[in-house]
């Protein structure tokens, strides 16, 4: 009897009983990095849980999940969450949107800011630039820019002056160091970065807006801590943090 009880207690401790401190393993795209840096310490202090985040570009995260890696939860564009939920990788229960990001242009600090108020002006800015940098086509924003280059009829003209580098891999720093005239990234990836100035968002007709959200994995045996973290991130009291980090609150 005592042996059976001891085994049951050990199993409960391993799984993480509700209300007990747990380690929450999170996979996230790079967009919410600044928000998480601000909010994770608050959540950990309030709950006693520990949050461990692995950042990667969206395509890499999707490959990790497809190959069998199973974090407790993910932070991704809600479109990707919906696809992974249909595949049975994520649960929709308890998922929540956090905020919307858009694509913006940046230049080195102090450099002239080109006119990008219309699609034609944006096209001219890309043609007139010496060097460009933005995320590779395996990312949502990079794929969008590849489509825009084709749509604007300049793909062949600009291909030799584009450096493909994700923000997580130092793409914004390329602009800050003056190694590219123009960078194009998601709004949350450039806010508060020293050495660059934001020209502004792409024209509405060329814009890509992504809603970021969180969801637990279907394989998570103890989802309560991760669900609590998602609820905390989506709480109205944290909208200011999301907005200051380049997100428009959902």
| C-alpha dist (Å) from residue 70 to 105, 206, 214, 221 | 35, 35, 14, 11
Query: Which CATH architecture is the domain 103-206 placed in?
Result: 3-Layer(aba) Sandwich (3.40)
Task: Say what the pLDDT of residue 19 is.
Answer: 56
Phi, psi torsion values for 55, nearest 5 degrees: -100, 140
| C-alpha dist (Å) from residue 140 to 30, 146, 188, 214 | 12, 10, 14, 17
Binned at pLDDT 50, 70 and 90, residue 230 comes out as very high
pLDDT in tens, 98-143: 999 999 999 999 999 999 999 999 999 999 999 999 999 989 999 9
Domain with CATH 3.40.190.10 in the chain: 21-100+210-249, 103-206
56, containing H or E segment: none
Query: Which listed CATH number (3.40.190.10, 1.10.10.10, 2.30.110.10, 3.40.1280.10) goes with 21-100+210-249?
Result: 3.40.190.10
Query: Can you tell me the distance from the alpha carbon of 42 to that of 46, in angstroms, rounded to the nearest whole number?
Result: 6
Q: What percent of the chain has pLDDT over 90?
A: 88
């Amino acid at each position: 009897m005592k042996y059976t009880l001891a085994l049951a207690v050990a199993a409960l401790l391993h799984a993480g009983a509700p209300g007990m401190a747990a380690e929450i393993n999170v996979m996230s795209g790079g967009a919410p990095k600044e928000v998480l840096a601000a909010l994770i310490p608050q959540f950990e202090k309030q709950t006693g849980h520990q949050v461990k985040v692995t950042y990667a570009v969206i395509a890499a995260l999707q490959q990790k999940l497809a190959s069998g890696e199973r974090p407790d939860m993910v932070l991704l564009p809600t479109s990707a969450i919906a696809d992974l939920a249909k595949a049975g990788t994520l649960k929709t229960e308890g998922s929540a949107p956090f905020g919307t990001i858009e694509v913006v242009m940046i230049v080195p600090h102090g450099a002239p800011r080109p006119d990008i108020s219309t699609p034609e002006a944006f096209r001219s800015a890309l043609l007139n630039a010496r060097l460009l940098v933005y995320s590779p086509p395996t990312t949502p924003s990079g794929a969008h820019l590849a489509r825009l280059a084709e749509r604007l009829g300049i793909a062949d003209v600009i291909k030799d002056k584009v450096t493909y580098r994700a923000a997580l891999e130092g793409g914004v720093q390329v602009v800050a160091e003056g190694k590219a005239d123009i960078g194009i990234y998601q709004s949350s990836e450039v806010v508060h970065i020293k050495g660059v100035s934001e020209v502004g968002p792409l024209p509405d007709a060329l814009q890509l807006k992504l809603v970021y959200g969180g969801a637990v994995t279907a394989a998570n045996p103890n989802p309560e801590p991760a669900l609590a973290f998602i609820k905390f991130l989506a709480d109205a009291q944290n909208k200011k943090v999301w907005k200051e980090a380049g997100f428009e609150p959902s």
